């Protein structure tokens, strides 16, 4: 079963971090990613550029409208994701709890819908 | 191990009519059959249909063939075949069902092939699986309660809805959504691994305690159904004690028994609330108190106890006092101190303050309550204001006491609690007029 783990955290904290602090977190992400690659749970994953680089697109009455940024202001922003393979939700919860941002932000786990 | 409530191994079948026996078996064992069928068939809906089909099949064949040697195994096996039949019939419309039916048929259930004891052990594990799945923290708290009462306790949707004062369609939808999430997010049907057990058991105990409190706080007036929730929670507590005798499981059952033992003394004939120190202690259920206290002792002896055991220990100290004046407040304050270390919460602090007031006098308790209220956390909690009012009353600060009772009255929701507060306000007003 595939699950998408959406990583939500306050992106502003990255701006206030020292090089050493952010380096340590990158290190943790690297170790986590390597770990789930070895255990066969990793299918994909990427960090995202901050929300100031985001664009939102809608099509209404056939017309494209593009606006700056995400549609809602929230304390935590989507900052990256992992796509994992896991046997059930309990295993997915255990894996997601090891993502570094789980300690400061939150991880939303969404089962991927299978389309035959 | 004796099985709570089961009659499957009983020799009752020798003396009763099969139909009658099947009716009794449905009440005592349908949840066990269901729990195992969910594991074998991999889903709630299919298992529920299969379980009903199996009992119908029993009604048809047992009067002719006699009751089988192991009725429960017979029902599980019949349910499984009925489910495969159902899938095959549906398969005319959906080819994917053929594959599922084939797979189910190939995976013969190991349960029926082992010796009776082993089979029963597996079945008891299935009941734990069912409880842990219904109380999974990924479900909303409301859904956990509804699902547990529906699937584990076999209460009807209508019954649960009226007990929780929500419309039946709302409750039915809650259950459908929860089952949908179990299926779509693939919540596994299993007892959690050791490293997850503490967190997951907490969620189960919370469901049981919420059900109990829902019944306990409303065991008054017109709410007969709600009051049954307490008995249901105690039944669940006993079941869990039998399946997984962890210290906090014992502690919670002890707590519920000790509270429930006081139920006959909690209300007057007119349905008015009677506070602990004014209760007629001869009405307390002594057998339940002994059972509760014994569970508390077992839990404390384990040295792995937590907040439920400590609250139960406090209730046991109260129960131990022959009269309100004989209460060992020193010990109660001490237990609250430990409880605060285990689980700091403003409500526990408030209760500790009330105990301190009994040990050291109302002034000492009032200072603590005022400090808690000043932090703002309990500003909207009616019991904080009514506790404050009570201490002011005992200190002779009448206008302050009346104001605090009025604030409590604005926040209180239950009719008996409101009547109690109104009565206190009237008493104080009359007393101050008489002066």
Q: What is the DSSP string of B167-208?
A: -HHHHHHHHHHHHHHHHHTT---SPPPHHHHHHHHHHHHHHH
The terminus-to-terminus CA distance of chain B in angstroms comes to 67
- Rounded to an integer, the average pLDDT of B5-27 is 75
Burial zone of A68 (CB within 10 Å; 0-12 exposed, 13-18 middle, 19+ buried):
exposed
In angstroms, how far is CA B390 from the centroid of its own chain? Answer: 31
Query: In the predicted model, is pLDDT for residue B395 greater than 50?
Result: yes
- Between chains, do B138 and A89 touch, taking CB under 8 Å as contact? yes
| Distant-in-sequence, close-in-space partners of B267: CB < 8 Å, separation ≥ 6 | B219, B220, B273, B274, B416
> Which residue from B minimizes the CA distance to A89?
B187
Q: How far is A90 from chain B (nearest CA, A)?
A: 7
> Which residue from B minimizes the CA distance to A4?
B185
The terminus-to-terminus CA distance of chain A in angstroms comes to 14
Q: Return the minimum-mean-pLDDT range out of A70-74, B168-172, B275-279, B330-334.
A: A70-74
Asked whether the beta carbons of B207 and B145 are under 8 A apart, the reply is yes
Length of chain A (residues): 116
B188 vs A: CB within 8 A:
yes
- Between chains, do B186 and A94 touch, taking CB under 8 Å as contact? no
B192 vs A: CB within 8 A:
yes
- Between chains, do A94 and B187 touch, taking CB under 8 Å as contact? no
Q: Which residues of B touch A93 (CB under 8 A)?
A: 138
Count CB atoms within 10 A of the CB of residue B332.
23
List of E strands, A10-76: 42-47, 55-60, 63-68
- Between chains, do B192 and A90 touch, taking CB under 8 Å as contact? yes
Count CB atoms within 10 A of the CB of residue A12.
10
pLDDT at B1: 45
> Which residue from B minimizes the CA distance to A109?
B185
Instruction: Write out the two tokens for A77.
Output: 């922003």
pLDDT at A91: 95
With bands split at pLDDT 50, 70 and 90, how would you rate the model's confidence at B98? confident
Asked whether the beta carbons of B135 and B203 are under 8 A apart, the reply is yes
Token pair 């007892």 is found at B191
- Which 3 state secondary structure label does DSSP give A8? strand
A19 vs B: CB within 8 A:
no
| Cross-strand pairs, A111 | A3
Instruction: Write out the two tokens for B260.
Output: 């429930």
- Between chains, do B188 and A1 touch, taking CB under 8 Å as contact? no
pLDDT at B431: 82
Q: Which residues of A touch B39 (CB under 8 A)?
A: none
Q: How far is A112 from chain B (nearest CA, A)?
A: 9
Helix, strand, coil % over all residues of chain B, rounded to 5 = 75, 0, 25
Best interface-test mutation with A: which of B39, B43, B139, B185 has the largest number of A CBs within 10 A?
B185
- Between chains, do B185 and A93 touch, taking CB under 8 Å as contact? no
pLDDT at A81: 97
A94 vs B: CB within 8 A:
yes
Q: Which residues of A touch B190 (CB under 8 A)?
A: 90
Rounded distance between C-alpha atoms, residue B397 and residue A74, angstroms? 48
Asked whether the beta carbons of B190 and B132 are under 8 A apart, the reply is yes
pLDDT at B224: 45
Rounded distance between C-alpha atoms, residue A30 and residue A47, angstroms? 11
Instruction: Write out the two tokens for B237.
Output: 């507590």
Rounded distance between C-alpha atoms, residue B153 and residue B156, angstroms? 9
Give the containing element (helix H, strand E) for B67. none
Give me the residue from A87, A90, A111 closest to B184, CB to CB.
Answer: A111
pLDDT over 70 percentage in chain B: 89
Best interface-test mutation with B: which of A3, A4, A90 has the largest number of B CBs within 10 A?
A90
Q: What is the DSSP letter of B3?
A: P
- Between chains, do B188 and A88 touch, taking CB under 8 Å as contact? yes
Residue-wise pLDDT tens digits, B311-329: 999 999 999 999 999 999 9
With bands split at pLDDT 50, 70 and 90, how would you rate the model's confidence at B219? very low
- Which 3 state secondary structure label does DSSP give B101? helix
Return the half-sphere exposure (C-beta side, CA atoms, 13 A cut-off) of residue B134: 26
| Summary count for chain A: helices (H), strands (E) | 3, 6
> Which residue from B minimizes the CA distance to A110?
B185
Q: Which residues of A touch B196 (CB under 8 A)?
A: 90, 94
> Which residue from B minimizes the CA distance to A88?
B186
Asked whether the beta carbons of B350 and B328 are under 8 A apart, the reply is no
ipTM: 0.84
Q: How far is A67 from chain B (nearest CA, A)?
A: 33
With bands split at pLDDT 50, 70 and 90, how would you rate the model's confidence at B416? confident
Residue-wise pLDDT tens digits, B99-129: 777 777 776 655 444 445 445 556 678 999 9
Token pair 């191990």 is found at B1
> Which stretches of B7-115 are DSSP H helices?
12-15, 18-41, 44-65, 71-90, 95-106
Q: What is the DSSP letter of B218?
A: T
């Amino acid at each position: 079963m595939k699950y998408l783990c959406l990583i939500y955290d306050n992106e502003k904290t990255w701006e206030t971090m020292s090089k050493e602090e952010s380096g340590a977190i990158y290190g943790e992400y690297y170790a986590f990613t390597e770990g789930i690659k070895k255990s066969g749970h990793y299918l994909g994953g990427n960090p995202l550029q901050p929300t100031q680089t985001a664009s939102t697109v809608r099509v209404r009455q056939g017309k494209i409208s593009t606006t700056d940024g995400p549609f809602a202001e929230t304390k935590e922003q989507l900052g990256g994701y992992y796509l994992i393979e896991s046997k059930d939700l309990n295993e997915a919860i255990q894996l997601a709890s090891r993502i570094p941002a789980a300690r400061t932000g939150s991880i939303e786990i969404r089962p991927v819908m299978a389309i035959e | 191990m004796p099985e709570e409530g089961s009659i499957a191994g009983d020799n009752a079948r020798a003396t009763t009519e099969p139909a009658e026996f099947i009716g009794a078996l449905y009440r005592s064992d349908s949840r066990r059959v269901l729990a195992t069928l969910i594991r074998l068939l991999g889903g709630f809906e299919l298992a529920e249909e299969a379980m009903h089909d199996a009992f119908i099949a029993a009604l048809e064949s047992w009067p002719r063939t006699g009751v089988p040697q192991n009725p429960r195994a017979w029902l599980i096996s019949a349910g499984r075949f009925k489910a495969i039949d159902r899938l095959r019939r549906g398969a005319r419309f959906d080819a994917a069902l053929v594959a599922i039916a084939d797979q189910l048929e190939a995976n013969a259930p190991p349960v029926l092939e082992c010796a009776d004891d082993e089979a029963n052990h597996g079945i008891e594990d299935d009941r734990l699986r069912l409880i842990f799945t219904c109380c999974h923290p990924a479900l909303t708290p409301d859904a956990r309660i509804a699902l547990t009462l529906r699937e584990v306790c076999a209460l009807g949707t209508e019954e649960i809805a009226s007990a929780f004062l929500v419309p039946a369609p709302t409750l039915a939808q809650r259950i459908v959504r929860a089952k949908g999430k179990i299926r779509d997010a693939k919540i596994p049907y299993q007892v959690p691994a050791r490293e997850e057990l503490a967190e997951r058991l907490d969620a189960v105990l919370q469901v049981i305690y919420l059900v109990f409190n829902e019944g306990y706080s409303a065991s008054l007036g017109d709410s007969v159904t709600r009051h049954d929730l307490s008995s249901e929670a105690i039944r669940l507590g006993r079941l869990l004690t039998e399946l997984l005798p962890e210290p906090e499981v014992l502690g919670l059952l002890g707590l519920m028994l000790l509270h429930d033992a006081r139920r006959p003394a909690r209300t007057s004939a007119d349905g008015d609330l009677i506070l602990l120190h004014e209760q007629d202690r001869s009405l307390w259920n002594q057998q339940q108190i002994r059972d509760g206290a014994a569970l508390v002792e077992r839990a404390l002896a384990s040295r792995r106890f937590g907040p439920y055991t400590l609250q139960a220990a406090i209730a046991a100290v109260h129960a131990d006092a022959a009269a309100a004046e004989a209460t060992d407040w020193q010990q109660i304050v001490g237990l609250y101190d430990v409880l605060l270390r285990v689980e700091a919460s403003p409500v526990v602090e408030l209760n500790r303050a009330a105990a301190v007031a009994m040990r050291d006098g109302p002034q000492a308790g009032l200072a603590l309550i005022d400090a808690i209220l000043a932090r703002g956390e309990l500003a909207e909690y009616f019991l904080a204001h009514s506790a404050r009012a009570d201490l002011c009353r005992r200190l002779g600060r009448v206008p302050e006491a009346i104001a605090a009772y009025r604030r409590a009255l604005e926040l209180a929701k239950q009719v008996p609690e409101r009547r109690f507060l109104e009565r206190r306000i009237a008493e104080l007003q009359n007393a101050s007029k008489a002066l």
